[in-house]
């Protein structure tokens, strides 16, 4: 019998049958731990496992109360008078959310400068959306309504940029939404019909927002309204855009811009420019941007911007360059009855018009081949801010991102033909947004 521990140690070390399996098990455990650690994405939210959303609540109604109102809004037995009352309550909650968004953004990005608050007329914005979709009679009963209840600029957008960087900061996002709100106001003032398309349509369906790694907003308008667009915004003369800029402390202007906007407009709207652009495929679009934004390298426009694409129409269908096999402003023939009535959809803190039949609209407007927008999440192939292609392109199953990004979950009630969406985040106890709409079929989703 061996009693000396040193002798025991030497026996173990010299016994290969003992230490080789031990080394193998040790390496296997180390590899397993390394793989698990690499799959974890450290974000401000993902580290808060099963905690409440870090949001300073100031809304007059709770999330569950809003959900109950949406159920009542789409109940066929609810009277028109009660529908109108419910609608007004939802609009008031939406106003509170927009007000908080503007306050947070101005504090974060402009040190509470008064100009920031004046750059967005929330009352006028809500007025035009409400005027267009208010259930004034039985024919105009709501077909889609919802709210991004827990929208928090600081938290959500910082998470979005920490996983798949796009060089779009929280303030860049605010300036994009700031631009969009003013563009919507002017489109309504000019009585121009519009709706979401391309990547922005994918964003509202999958994220209730701009795609977290996207960098612009896309709209369709009738080609018959292009002259209205040119009259509604200041125009940039492409023949003289290379003139030197004149910069003042208050704003930035160019000698080539022609004032066409009403003089009583807010200062921010007077600085909005429309630029007619023809891409490499000979497709015409209209880029709208602010003279206060930085100019894009080797171009005549600025960023952030709104891309507006015109579509043609006949008695029954609408279309845009249907023979082109690319996604730059194209749309295959789609029946007007599949686009109208236009639905309101959630775009971050905003509500924006969207086509009615989602499956057919995606099929017509987005040339995907065999991919599915709810299965395949694709990175940008073009960086609008820098006017160049992306160095790295990626395409991965969206389900691999659901622990890092909020993604929409959808369910359909076949009896009532109503669909309900909630923006889910696995690390939070609370859903972020909720949306209900009339749907003839379930939009196939793979998440």
Using one digit for the tens of pLDDT, what is the confidence trace for 383-422? Answer: 787 788 777 777 888 888 887 788 999 999 999 999 999 9
Identify the residue whose tokens are 């081949």: 369
Q: Tell whether 24 and 150 lie within a shared domain.
A: no
Q: How far apart are CA 190 and CA 415, in angstroms?
A: 40
- Write out pLDDT tens, residues 129-173: 999 999 999 999 999 999 999 998 887 766 554 556 667 888 999
Whether 277 and 392 map to the same domain: the answer is yes
Q: Do 158 and 14 share a domain, yes or no?
A: no
Q: Place 242 in a pLDDT band, splitting at 50, 70 and 90.
A: very low
* 24 shares a domain with 149: no
CA distances in angstroms from 63 to 349, 357, 379, 430, 432, listed in the order given: 15, 27, 32, 9, 9
| Same domain flag for 148 and 14 | no
- The answer to whether position 422 is within a domain reads yes
Alpha carbon distance 238, 225 (integer Å)? 21
Task: For residue 118, tell me if it sits in a domain.
Answer: no
Q: Is residue 136 part of a domain?
A: no
**Residue 29 shares a structural domain with residue 161:** no
117 within some domain: no
Residue whose pair of structure tokens reads 């609810």 in the numeric block: 78
Does 243 reside within a domain? Answer: no
Cα angle at 129 between 115 and 161, to 5 degrees?
60
pLDDT reading at 258 higher than 60: no
Report DSSP state, residue 324.
-
Both tokens of 66, joined, read 């809003």
State yes or no: pLDDT of 50 exceeds 50. no
Look at 90 and 168; give whichever has higher pLDDT: 90
Q: Tell me: pLDDT of 436 over 90.
A: yes
Q: Looking at the domain assignment, is residue 81 inside a domain?
A: no
Q: Is 354 helix (H, G, I), strand (E, B) or coil?
A: strand
Q: CA–CA distance from 350 to each of 26, 102, 269, 346, 347 (Å)?
A: 53, 12, 18, 6, 5
Is residue 32 located within the same domain as residue 147?
Answer: no
Task: Quote the percentage of the chain above a pLDDT of 90.
Answer: 53
Contacts of 280 (CB under 8 A, 6+ apart): none
Same domain (yes/no): 157, 29: no
User: Do 151 and 299 lie in a common domain?
Assistant: yes
Percent of the chain at pLDDT > 70 equals 76
The mean pLDDT value for 93-100 works out to 96
How many domains does the chain contain in total? 2
**In terms of domains, do 25 and 158 share one?**
no
Range of the domain at 395: 143-238+269-438
350, 101 Cβ separation under 8 angstroms: no
Q: What is the pLDDT of residues 330-386, one digit of tens each?
A: 999 999 999 999 999 999 999 999 999 998 999 899 876 555 788 888 877 777 877
Residue 250 has a pLDDT of 32
The answer to whether residue 137 is domain-embedded is no
User: Which pLDDT does position 221 carry in this prediction?
Assistant: 97
Coil vs helix vs strand at 49: coil
Q: Is residue 98 part of a domain?
A: no
Please check whether residues 170 and 318 belong to one and the same domain: yes
Cα–Cα distance, 217 to 182 (Å, whole number): 13
Least trusted range by pLDDT, from 23-27, 29-33, 54-58 = 54-58
Phi, psi of 73 (to 5 degrees): -60, -35
CA gap 108, 121 in Å, rounded? 19
């Amino acid at each position: 019998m061996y009693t000396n521990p040193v002798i025991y140690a030497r026996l173990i070390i010299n016994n290969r049958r003992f230490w080789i399996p031990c080394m193998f098990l040790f390496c296997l455990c180390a590899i397993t731990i390394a793989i698990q650690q690499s799959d974890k994405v450290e974000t401000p939210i993902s580290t808060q496992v099963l905690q409440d959303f870090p949001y300073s609540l100031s809304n007059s109604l709770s999330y569950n109360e809003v959900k109950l109102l949406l159920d009542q809004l789409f109940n066929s037995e609810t009277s028109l008078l009660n529908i109108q009352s419910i609608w007004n309550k939802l609009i008031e909650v939406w106003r509170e959310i927009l007000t908080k968004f503007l306050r947070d953004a101005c504090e974060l990005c402009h040190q509470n400068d008064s100009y920031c608050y004046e750059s967005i007329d929330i009352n006028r914005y809500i007025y035009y959306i409400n005027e267009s979709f208010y259930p004034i009679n039985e024919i105009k009963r709501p077909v889609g309504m919802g709210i991004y209840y827990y929208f928090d600029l600081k938290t959500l957008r910082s998470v979005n940029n920490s996983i798949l960087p796009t060089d779009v900061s929280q303030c860049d996002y605010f300036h994009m939404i700031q631009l969009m709100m003013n563009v919507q106001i002017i489109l309504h003032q000019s009585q121009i019909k519009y709706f979401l398309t391309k990547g922005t349509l994918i964003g509202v369906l999958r994220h209730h927002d701009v795609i977290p790694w996207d960098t612009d907003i896309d709209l369709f308008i009738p080609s018959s309204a292009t002259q209205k667009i040119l009259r509604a915004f200041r125009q940039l003369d492409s023949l003289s855009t290379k003139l030197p800029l004149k910069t003042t402390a208050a704003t930035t202007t160019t000698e080539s811009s022609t004032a066409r906007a009403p003089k009583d407009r807010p200062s921010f709207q007077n600085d909005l420019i429309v630029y007619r652009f023809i891409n490499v495929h000979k497709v015409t679009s209209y880029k709208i941007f602010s003279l206060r934004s930085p100019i894009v390298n080797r171009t005549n426009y600025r960023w952030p911007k709104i891309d507006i694409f015109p579509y043609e129409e006949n008695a029954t269908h609408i279309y845009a360059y249907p023979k082109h096999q690319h996604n730059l402003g194209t749309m295959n023939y789609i029946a007007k009855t599949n686009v109208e009535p236009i639905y309101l959809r959630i775009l971050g803190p905003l509500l924006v018009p969207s086509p009615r039949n989602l499956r057919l609209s995606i099929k017509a407007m987005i040339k995907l081949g065999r991919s599915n927008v709810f299965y395949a999440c694709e990175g940008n192939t073009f960086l609008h801010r820098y006017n160049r292609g992306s160095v790295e392109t990626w395409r991965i199953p969206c389900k691999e991102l659901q622990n890092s990004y909020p993604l929409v979950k959808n369910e359909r009630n076949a009896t009532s033909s109503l669909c309900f969406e909630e923006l889910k985040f696995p690390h939070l106890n609370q859903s972020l947004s909720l949306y209900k709409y009339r749907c003839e079929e379930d939009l196939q989703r793979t998440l």
